Amino acid sequence: MKLPKTGASWSELKSEMSARGAGDAKWRDGKTAVYVFNAGPEVEQVQKEAYTAFMSENGLGPLAFPSLAEMEKEVVSMALDLLHGPEGSTGAMTSGGTDSITMALKTARDFARSKGQSGPANIVLPQSAHLAFDKAAHLMDIEVRRAPLKTDGSYEADPAAIADRVDSNTVMIVGSAPNFPHGIIDPVAALSELAIEKGVWLHVDACVGGFLAPFARMNGVPVPAFDFELDGVQSMSADLHKYGYAAKGASTVLFRSADLYQHMPFDFAGWSGAPMKTPTLAGTRPGGAISAAWAVMNHLGVEGYCRLQGKVCAAREKVEQGLRERGFEILGTPLLGLIAFRHPDLYSFALYGEIYKRGWFTSVTKEPRSLHLMLSPKHADMIDDYLRDLDAACETVRAGESAPAETVQPRYN
Ligand SMILES: *Cc1c(COP(=O)(O)O)cnc(C)c1O
List pLDDT tens digits, range 150-202.
Answer: 999 999 999 999 999 999 999 999 999 999 999 999 999 999 999 999 999 99
How far is Cα 107 from Cα 255, in angstroms, rounded to an integer?
A: 10
Atom 8 (ligand 1) nearest CA: 97
**Averaged over 282-300, what is the pLDDT?**
97
Angstrom distance (rounded) from CA 132 to CA 128: 12
At the second CATH level, the architecture of 47-297 is: 3-Layer(aba) Sandwich (3.40)
Give the per-residue pLDDT at 406: 60
d(CA 187, CA 58): 39
Determine if ligand 1 sits within 6 Å of the CB of residue 243. Answer: no
* Measured CA distances, 382 to 29, 33, 35, 180, 318 (Å): 9, 11, 17, 22, 10
- Going from the C-alpha of 261 to that of each of 32, 106, 275, the distances in angstroms are 37, 10, 20
Q: Where in the chain is the domain with CATH 3.40.640.10?
A: 47-297
Q: What is the pLDDT of residue 413?
A: 46
In the prediction, which pLDDT does 407 show? 62
Section 38-51 average pLDDT: 97
Question: How confident is the model at residue 103, as a pLDDT?
Answer: 98
According to CATH, the superfamily of the domain at 27-37+303-401 is Aspartate Aminotransferase, domain 1 (3.90.1150.10)
Nearest atom within ligand 1 for CA of residue 96 = 7
- Give yes or no for residue 132 CB within 6 A of ligand 1: yes
pLDDT > 70: percent of the chain: 97
- Distance CA(227)–CA(235), nearest Å, equals 9
Say if CB 146 and CB 128 are below 8 A apart: no
**pLDDT single digits (tens) 350-390:** 999 999 999 999 999 999 999 999 999 999 999 999 999 99
Say how many Å lie between the CA of residue 300 and the centre of ligand 1: 22
Ligand 1 near 98 CB (within 6 A): yes
Reported as a pLDDT band with limits 50, 70 and 90, residue 411 is low
Centre of ligand 1 from the C-alpha of residue 254, in Å:
15
Å from CA of 64 to ligand 1 middle: 31
Which of 93, 99, 179, 239 has most ligand 1 atoms within 8 Å of CB, for mutation?
Answer: 239
Residue ranges of the chain that CATH labels 3.90.1150.10: 27-37+303-401
Residue 402 has a pLDDT of 78
* β-sheet bridge partners, residue 90: 255
